[in-house]
Structure 1
Amino acid sequence: MSDVLPLGPDELLTTTRSVRKRLDLGRDVPLEVVRESLEVALQAPSGSNQQGWHWLVVTDPEKRAAIGEYYRQAFTAYRNSGAYPTTKPTGDTDRDATQGRVADSAQYLADRMGEVPVLVIGALQASAELPAANQSGMWGSLLPAAWSLQLALRARGLGSAWTTLHLQYEKEISALLGVPDDVRQGVLLPVAYYTGDTFKPAKRQPLDTVLHVDGW
């Protein structure tokens, strides 16, 4: 069993960040550590306890490079679309500076996604056509497990970043990996050991600006 950092629950939850620039692209990640983290993730809840999730762990260099190129193209289109939120000034100097750093690190990851040692895609057994109504019940059976995976990885000294832009090329990536038509992708996690140990809680808006008790 791999070493686990001595992090309390609150520290683990508040210091698990999206890691981009600090991913160690030159250090191999043992498959056993990823498997161990996935065993933790499988304890997450799923609707009616169906456990319909699937996990594609991609280590093959050519497949990682192909997925990375799809991701780079999707990121470039998003960045140039005018909808990219991290480059829009808000008037809040601190927030704008933070968003600028996020944009810079997002670009860094987009340029290097295919170099990350391990790519993990979380997927879910579902119909080829997603329901038109609210899909939260369906994706709620996958996304908690994906977050649990990020926490388990962090506890073992590995970083990850929640990404979904690859879904613009979901069909192409599914064909590359031989994913059946009735399995839909929900998240792509680049996984690597991280450099440094200075993770800390991020600045967030005050709770009272988003809290509603007994009504809006």
Structure 2
Amino acid sequence: MALLPLDPDQLLSTTRAVRKRLDFSRPVPDDLIRECVSVAMQSPSGSNNMTMQFVIVKDPAKRKAIGDVYKQCYSIYQSMDGVYIRSIDKGEADANAQQQRSADSADYLGEHMGDAPALVIACNMGVRADGTPGMMTSSLMGNVLPAMWSFMLAARARGLGTAWTTVHLMMEQQVADILGIPFESVQQVCLSPLAFTKGTDFKAAARPSADSIIHWDQW
């Protein structure tokens, strides 16, 4: 399919976490998913190990099972004061209003993750990062995080929406059992719905200025 007419900066600044605007009624063709994965495989990989793996879930029963696990985990997440998105005080009215809108969107996905026509689980294969030194953890995650972000950018360019989530990792073993993922040697890193979006007119979000987060030559 034709790519959306987005220049690089537009693509990077308008690839949003999409939840309420996912079209659950429209299937996502396998070839389109393959295109996104092919683009993702061009991302940097530590020591050129290429240990990233993508589990694509389209089977309705498995999607429902994962959605049920996600719903359980999300309920636990909602009880975490100061961690749950709705409980975070930004200290300013406009920012708090945006935070509540994001919370509404996240809550919606908490109920409907299993309704997405496809789920994408990004994994790292070989060694789990549990308890590893900081350098190794960063290296292991550095194999899969750039690939998943590249997948999301490729999806956006093709009119597809994604949303990076991690709460299912509270029950990672259960999801591994549902999908036959070898838990001891393959670590799940994130879960995203994948669906065509309702419209493609996404905009850049309000963010802090560059100068507010840059530290020149020292902290």
Q: What TM-score, normalized by structure 1, do the two folds share?
A: 0.96
The CA distance in 2 between the partners of 1:111 and 1:96, in whole Å, is: 23
Q: Match of 2:99?
A: 99
Cα deviation, residue 178, structure 1: 0.7
List gaps (5 residues or longer) in structure 2. none
Match status 1:211 vs 2:210: no
Q: Secondary structure at the match of 1:141?
A: helix
Match status 1:50 vs 2:49: yes
Q: Match of 2:125?
A: 125
Q: Which of 141, 144, 149 is the aligned partner of 2:143?
A: 141
Q: Match of 1:156?
A: 158
Letter in structure 1 aligned against 2:7 = G
- Residues 1:129 and 1:88: Cα distance change in structure 2 (over 3 Å): closer
Per-residue CA deviation, residues 102-153 of structure 1 (Å, 9 max, x unaligned), is 0000000110000000001010113356233211111011000000000000
What is the identity percentage for the equivalent residue pairs of Structure 1 and Structure 2?
Answer: 45
Q: Match of 2:202?
A: 199
- Residues 1:39 and 1:129: Cα distance change in structure 2 (over 3 Å): closer
Letter in structure 1 aligned against 2:204 = P
Q: Match of 1:27?
A: 26
The aligned runs of 1:65-84 (5 Å cut-off) are 65-82=64-81, 83-84=83-84
Letter in structure 2 aligned against 1:48 = S
The CA distance in 1 between the partners of 2:89 and 2:186, in whole Å, is: 39
Per-residue CA deviation, residues 186-207 of structure 1 (Å, 9 max, x unaligned), is 0111100000232111000121
RMSD: 1.2
Letter in structure 1 aligned against 2:187 = R
The CA distance in 1 between the partners of 2:161 and 2:154, in whole Å, is: 10
The CA distance in 2 between the partners of 1:189 and 1:129, in whole Å, is: 20
The CA distance in 2 between the partners of 1:75 and 1:107, in whole Å, is: 8
The CA distance in 2 between the partners of 1:55 and 1:8, in whole Å, is: 27
Cα deviation, residue 81, structure 1: 1.9
Deviates more, 1:130-139 or 1:160-169: 130-139
The CA distance in 2 between the partners of 1:128 and 1:45, in whole Å, is: 19
Per-residue CA deviation, residues 151-200 of structure 1 (Å, 9 max, x unaligned), is 00000000000011111111111111111230110011110000023211
Match status 1:165 vs 2:164: no
Preserved contact between residue 159 and residue 200 of structure 2 (Cα < 8 Å): no
The CA distance in 1 between the partners of 2:186 and 2:212, in whole Å, is: 38
Letter in structure 1 aligned against 2:8 = P
Q: Secondary structure at the match of 2:53?
A: strand
The CA distance in 2 between the partners of 1:37 and 1:88, in whole Å, is: 34
Query: How many residues align structurally?
Result: 215
Deviates more, 1:14-23 or 1:172-181: 172-181
Cα deviation, residue 99, structure 1: 0.3
The CA distance in 1 between the partners of 2:125 and 2:199, in whole Å, is: 37
Q: Secondary structure at the match of 2:143?
A: coil
Cα deviation, residue 80, structure 1: 1.2
Per-residue CA deviation, residues 50-90 of structure 1 (Å, 9 max, x unaligned), is 00111100000010001011111111111112131433333
Letter in structure 2 aligned against 1:99 = Q
Preserved contact between residue 87 and residue 99 of structure 1 (Cα < 8 Å): no
